[in-house]
Amino acid sequence: MEVRERSATVNAFCERLREFVRSEEGPTATEYAVLIAVICVAVIGALSSFGQHMDNLYTSIASTVPAGGS
């Protein structure tokens, strides 16, 4: 690839990047990405806490129920 071709490619990329930053789509996409990340962290935290609670509950139930057998 020649220097001119590379320069044209870099210029085209920079121009597209400028258009993306100027448009309303760039910030909106970023806001949605941040919102999704926050929701994922909250869901993972809730499931982790809920899972530990359920583990404790089943352990408690298993220890109080007598072992069956024939």
Residue 45 belongs to what domain range? 24-59
Q: Which amino acid is at 51?
A: G
pLDDT value at residue 4: 67
Q: How confident is the model at residue 54 (pLDDT cuts 50, 70, 90)?
A: confident
pLDDT digits (tens, 9 = 90+) for 26-52: 667 788 889 999 999 999 988 888 888
Instruction: Tell me if 11 is assigned to some domain.
Output: no
Instruction: Tell me if 19 is assigned to some domain.
Output: no
**Torsion angle (degrees, nearest 10) of CA 53, 55, 58, 63:** -110
Instruction: Tell me if 17 is assigned to some domain.
Output: no
| Chain position carrying tokens 């935290």 | 45
The total domain count for the chain is: 1
Instruction: Tell me if 48 is assigned to some domain.
Output: yes
pTM of the model: 0.45
Instruction: Tell me if 40 is assigned to some domain.
Output: yes
